[in-house]
Copies of this chain bind each other. A is one copy, B any other.
Amino acid sequence: MPVEAIDDELRGRGRPRDEDARARILEASLEALEELGYPGVTCEAIAERAGASKATIYRWWPHKEAVMLEALRESVAQELPFPDTGNLREDIRIQLHNFVKLLNGPRGRVFKGMIAAAQSDPKVGAAFLSIWVMPRREFARRGIDRYRKELRRGVDLEVVLDSIYAPLYYRLLIGHAPVTIKFADQIMELVWAGISATTSQHTKP
């Protein structure tokens, strides 16, 4: 029996899922997350905004965390990949600038909410890692690795990634200072001095 026979059996049975409702639910949950913050996101609120029923939500997602994770995944799908200008410093700078803009937009609250949820729910943590963190790090890892010979010998790429991204997340979550473009540049400069092979003769652009 060919694979498509099984597929046929599984695919064509019953009323198909309402993709529109799915989209409305995901959109509504993002909206709610942005407007109300994480604990303000109620399944009932999502259902009402989306014009859907709670039953539909629970049919497809085991709990609201899963809804929001999928919403995050969707909204993240169209994020730009790591840039490739031919200049490593420029690549990193552009990437950080984009990330700063993302965090300052409405998506910032989403990140705060998801990371908060992850602290007490390992499922959310694991999903956030695999959906967002790990793919972004992989892009960045490859983007930087292209210029490995420009980097100081013995530099650990994982540590570089942490030192670049962490300060932005840190300010987002702790809130002692804003996440600005300028701050990203300062971090960039500081880290660059630590990873670049040449004695850091950096000039501000």
Contact = CB atoms under 8 A, between A and B. Distances in A.
Interface string A109-124: 0001101111110000
B134 A162 contact: no
A61 B159 CA distance: 41
A64 interface: no
B186 A156 contact: yes
A167 B163 contact: yes
A117 B186 CA distance: 29
B176 A163 contact: no
A165 B173 CA distance: 13
Contacts of A199: 199
A23 B125 CA distance: 33
A188 B132 CA distance: 27
A interface, over-half SS: helix
B38 A190 contact: no
A40 interface: yes
Contacts of A117: 116
A194 B200 CA distance: 9
Contacts of A175: 118, 125, 129
Interface of A: 37-40, 112-113, 115-120, 125, 128-129, 133-134, 137, 155-156, 158-160, 162-163, 165-167, 169-171, 173-177, 183, 186-187, 189-195, 199-200
